[in-house]
Amino acid sequence: MLSQRGKIFVVYESFKFRNVGKVERGIKWRCTNKYCSSKLYTDEREKEINHNHASSETLQRQTISNSIKRKAVDICERPAQIIHRELSKSFPSDLETINCDDLRNIRKCMYYNRRSALPPLPKTIVETQNIVENLIIKTSKNERFVLANDFDSNIIILSCVNNIKFLCTCETIFVDGTFNYAPKFFLQMFSIHGMKNGHYVPLVFCLLPNKNRVSNLIAFQIIEQRCSELGLRFSPNEVVADFEESIHSAITSIWPNTKLIGCRFHLSQLWMRKIQQLGLVCDYKNPESNVGNFLHWIFGLIFLEPHNVGDCFAFDFAPMQIENDKLTSFLNYLVENYIEEDSRFPPKIWACASATLQRTTNCEKVDVIKNEQKYMGGTSRYSKNTKRERGKIKDEYNCLKCGRQHSRGKFWEELVFINNKPVNFKLDSGAICNVLPYDVVKNLERENSIKSSNKTIIAYGENKIKVIGEIIFKCIVRKNEYKIKFLVVDVKSRPILGLNACVKLNLISKIDEIDVDIILRNEFINKNLSIFERERQVPFKHKTQLKENYKAVKSNCRRLPNVVKEKQFVTKNYYDKTALDKSDFAKNENVLLKVRKEDKWISRKIIDIHQTPISYC
């Protein structure tokens, strides 16, 4: 058996022996426990097996670990799959001594063994190209997969001979450039796809340092040159691409007679983005809006012949134009970029009187599927996640994004291991502390570690919860170990992770925020005195439409408005020390009075005694 350092040792009756050397009797082995004097000779029958200590508890773990580490180097699978498969083959007795810490150590050893077989990550694009040049990258049919590695233009093209031969037989090719899945030091992964039996087949992958016209042109020239070296001619009849000027310019330069077709999906996407930019989305979605109907009709230009687009736009849509500045801006955008013959993308590129399904979104789907299948786990030097954050603002309304939602959709939860025991925590973005019920601490057998504390937790509704004490646990959250401080309460509730802990543990991430100039409550009240003064006036009117069969319902409110909250605190001590009768209050006292107890439905409301009684709801 091999040790963690790769040394050979012998296992006999659940004890490990290390190699000492050769002696007259044969090969001598000593117990791995340095305080044990037991010896073992492999070439003699006489053996000393009397040990003065118990058998090693790590033997089962090391046996499984050695098997897993060997397969981690030979098999390109996720560590979790290899670990689960090996554990399922082991005997139940071998698994009794293995805990979460052992599994974490085994996983680290797997990553280390995989990293040791590979050189360090390159720090520049030149180092990347040197590594690609020296590595032997072959396909399953033993073909070299690196088609070109141009150091002058920093372009790497990946393909094989069979793919090139098939590419030259395709009359129509589909090109697409993606930025999300490009590796480090490269901005774009440009792919070329062909079609066979109704299926899109990825044939060539180009790693480009930028997205300008020159890089695309050089990539096409290199591919064409490799085809010429094989005695083939690469000149497609049609090329389907999205609406990138650099790609269009490169295609028309290298293949002047090739027909260029624009992707309909990307064209509709560009028009829709312009509609959103001009603020016409509400009209577009409203079926009763004349502007919305007009915008829907505009998208029908895609299904006309190219020579009919200009006439239809000028003679059919122009007389129907509605007086709307935003709509006029949108039509001017179409004329300048898509309608005129000398525009950036004239109708001959995107207009066609057929329901063809030729588009580049199918190629993008191939990129997404390959990215999902790609193993990105751990910190492997060559399996580093290449999907980098580019500072884009996500189009979502949520201000906080959590990891996993409860099945009922009411709250978010996360499984945390404490002392190798699973504890299900609720992620509470409104809490500023972490809370553990005393029952949970007792189950973890750490109630003796609680330190006294004089803190108090104020829950929703201003309910105060007494804190028994504080405790710090080593927690495993998503395979990482953290020290987390908790407040222990004698209340039966769910364990809670507060906002600060959730953010530091990467369980909640802020994706957007609302800028508010007014932070203090008093500033907001002073700037809106017309609302908070006695008149309660606002600078606008709002009409509420009630149902015909509505029925009034009396209900109390648990929260006080800001205008009476300060008076409530002033009144609190005064009210407790005086009589409950209203006549005992002086009329000039700046205090509040509770409503009579007989009116149960308003028992929690407060009125002001200086003016006409008003119930603050």
The SS3 assignment for 497 reads: strand
pLDDT band at 603 (very low <50, low <70, confident <90, very high): very low
Q: What is the mean pLDDT of residues 207-214?
A: 90
Q: What tokens does 392 get?
A: 């884009």
Task: Looking at mean pLDDT, say which of 18-27, 312-321, 467-476 comes out highest.
Answer: 467-476
**C-alpha span between 593 and 595 (Å, rounded):** 7
**pLDDT for residue 398:** 31
Q: Taking a C-beta distance cutoff of 8 angstroms, is the pair 443, 513 a contact? A: no
208 contacts 222 by C-beta, under 8 angstroms: no
Q: What is the mean pLDDT of the chain?
A: 74
Burial classification of residue 67, based on how many CB atoms lie within 10 Å of its CB (0-12 exposed, 13-18 middle, 19 or more buried): middle
Give CB contacts under 8 A, 24+ apart, made by 246-255.
246/211, 246/212, 246/213, 246/215, 246/216, 247/175, 247/177, 247/216, 248/345, 248/349, 249/213, 249/216, 249/217, 250/213, 250/216, 250/217, 250/220, 251/175, 251/220, 253/217, 254/217, 254/220, 254/221, 254/224
Residue 516 confidence (pLDDT) above 80: no
> Strand, helix or coil at 256?
coil
Give the containing element (helix H, strand E) for 238. Answer: strand 238-241
Confidence of residue 204 (pLDDT cuts 50, 70, 90): very high
Does 249 or 60 have the greater pLDDT score? 249
What number of helices (H) and strands (E) belong to the chain?
Answer: 20, 23
91-105, 204-218, 503-517, 594-608: lowest mean pLDDT where?
Answer: 594-608
Of the ranges 119-123, 142-146, 364-368, the best mean pLDDT one: 142-146
**Whole-angstrom Cα distance, residue 29 to residue 131?**
44
Write the burial class of residue 326 (CB in 10 Å: 0-12 exposed, 13-18 middle, 19+ buried): middle
Yes or no: say if 499 and 428 are a contact pair by the CB < 8 Å rule.
yes
Asked if the model's pLDDT at residue 584 lies above 60, the reply is: no
pLDDT over 80 at 330, yes or no:
yes
Q: Mean pLDDT lowest for which of 29-33, 114-118, 140-144, 570-574? A: 570-574
Residue 533 has pLDDT above 70, yes or no: no
Distance CA 525, CA 533 (A): 9
Architecture of domain 400-510: Beta Barrel (2.40)
pLDDT tens for residues 371-421? 554 544 444 334 333 333 333 323 332 333 334 444 444 568 888 888 878
Selection from 216, 117, 208, 122 nearest residue 158 by Cα: 208
How many other C-beta atoms lie within 10 A of the C-beta of residue 102?
18
Token pair belonging to 223:
């591919």
Q: How far apart are CA 591 and CA 576, in angstroms?
A: 12
What pLDDT is attached to residue 46? 47
Judge whether 125-262 and 400-510 match in fold. no
Question: Is it the case that residue 423 has pLDDT exceeding 50?
Answer: yes
Most confident of 275-289, 498-512, 601-615: 275-289
Asked if the model's pLDDT at residue 578 lies above 60, the reply is: no
* Contact by Cβ (8 Å): 565, 559: no
| Residue 326 CA from chain centroid, whole number | 36
Which range, of 234-248, 274-288, 344-358, 547-561, averages the lowest pLDDT? 547-561
Q: How far apart are CA 294 and CA 323, in angstroms?
A: 12
Q: How confident is the model at residue 613 (pLDDT cuts 50, 70, 90)?
A: very low
Confidence of residue 490 (pLDDT cuts 50, 70, 90): confident
Q: What is the pLDDT of residue 54?
A: 52
Angle between helices 161-169 and 213-229 (to 10 degrees): 100
pLDDT over 90 at 207, yes or no:
yes
Is pLDDT at 328 greater than 60 in this prediction? yes
- Max Cα-Cα span within the chain: 112
Determine whether 152 is exposed, middle or buried from the number of CB atoms within 10 Å of its CB (0-12, 13-18, 19+): exposed
pLDDT over 80 at 501, yes or no: yes
Domain ranges of the chain: 9-116, 125-262, 264-357, 400-510, 562-608
Judge whether residue 156 has pLDDT over 90. Answer: yes
- Burial of 491 from C-beta contacts in 10 A (0-12 / 13-18 / 19+): middle
607 and 617 Cβ atoms separated by less than 8 Å: no
CATH hierarchy code of domain 125-262: 3.30.420
Which tokens go with 161?
């001979």
Residues 83, 9: Cα–Cα separation, whole Å: 23
Amino acid at 382: Y
3-state secondary structure of 336: helix
Residues 6+ apart with CB under 8 A from 24: none
